[in-house]
Each structure stands twice: as structure tokens, then as C-alpha cells.
Amino acid sequence: MLRYVTTNAGKVREALSYLDDDVTQLDFDYTEVQASDLGPIAAHGAREAYRYADEPVLVDDAGLFIDGFEGFPGPYSSYVEDTLGVEAVHRLAAAELDEPRRASFRCVLAYCDGEPFEASPNPIDRDDRTVAAARGAEQDAEETEALPVKLFTGSVNGRIVPPRGEGGFGYDPIFEHDGATFAEMSAEEKNGISHRGRALAKFSTWYAER
């Protein structure tokens, strides 16, 4: 059984519709290493979760990238949500940036089952060299052991607006796409166009063959 690694039940609900209910949540808080891209963070998390669970795992790492802030908060979205808060991110964007305050949500799914992969359009992350370089530190033998991870990406464009809507989670109320914020959409509507939905669609097609 595939385990969806997250402490966020909202993400699992979004994943279920793409994976025919063939997935259960693994409530495991993997180490979020510092890196400027989501890919190495998700791949590192997938290795750690696979070693912990000894079952096929799918790690989901996502963030909000604001164009006028060179992608900030990006990989630091979680930290910024916990410290500044989502409404302060909107106030900052409104104070500093001109309309339309473009942004994107991006999601990387990282899959690991301990086995190698056939080549496919979706990239494979083969070890933690990027993470080690970002840390500038030596890693212990277990962490650097090669454990291939397959990556699937999805993104959706929108703009930063004053908070609207009651649904979703995280930055959904301040992210508008096609006239509605993600928090104003039903779960199905968001799922159909979201960064996570797009990454899940690629993953589920590939996983059906696996």
C-alpha cells in the first residue's frame, strides 16, 4: 500500500481522488532540509520516510512563489506561514508590489520504493548531493547512500489578493486563479487545476504502470 507522507490531512484528501483510494496517510514529520528548490527537499524527505516506513512512500512538498519577491516565500512557505502568517504575506505584497502581483503555487511529489526506475520524462533524483552541498556539511553514511527517488512537478499561476473564502488551507485565501481564490473553490474545483492536482495526475499515470 502506498503511503502519502504528510502531517496535513487536507493534502491526503486531494490525493485520494487521483489514486483511487489506494493510498493511506503516513503522519511522519520528515526533516525539511534547507534548499532553494522544492525537489531536493522532497527527495530527501522521501528517502527518510522510506527508511522509516519500509513501504512505498510519496512525499509532497509545496510552496507559494511570488514573482515580485523573486519566489519568496517558496521553499520557506511553511516557516513564513507559521511566523508572519498568510494575511501578513498579502499585506507585504500589497505594500511592495504593483498589481497584478503574480504568483504561482508549485508542488513536487517524490516517490521512493527502494527500487531503481526505468527512464521516463519525469526526473530521477539519485542521491542527496544537492542537499549536502546546500548544507555545506559532511553527511553520515546512511544519508548519502544512493536511494533513487522519482519526482513529479505541478504548478498553477495566479495572483495575490486580499483574503477571501473559507475552504482549503494555508495560502489558499490569498491566491486567486481565474477570478476565484482557492479558498472559494470546492475541493473538486481546486483539485482539477491545482499544482498538487497536476503533479498527482502525472504521478498516477506513471504509478499505474509501476
Among 60, 61, 127, 128, the one annotated catalytic? 61
Q: Which residues of 86-116 are buried (b: 16+ CB within 10 A; e: fewer)?
A: beebbebbeeebeeebebbbbbbbbbbbeee
169 binds ligand IMP (CB under 6 A): yes
Concerning whether 61 is annotated as a catalytic residue, the answer is yes
61 binds ligand IMP (CB under 6 A): yes
Indicate which single residue of 196, 198, 203, 207 sits in contact with ligand IMP (rule: CB under 6 A): 196
Indicate which single residue of 78, 122, 144, 155 sits in contact with ligand IMP (rule: CB under 6 A): 78
Integer CA distances (angstroms), 200 to 22, 40, 121, 152, 168, in order: 13, 18, 15, 8, 17
Question: Cα–Cα distance between 4 and 193 in angstroms, integer?
Answer: 20
Q: Which of residues 109 and 147 has its CB atom nearest to ligand IMP in the complex?
A: 109
| Shortest CB 159 distance to ligand IMP, Å | 14
Nearest-CA neighbor of 45 among 93, 100, 95, 108?
108
Q: Which residues are catalytic?
A: 61
Interaction site with ligand IMP (CB under 6 A): 8, 60-63, 77-78, 81, 105, 168-172, 182, 194, 196
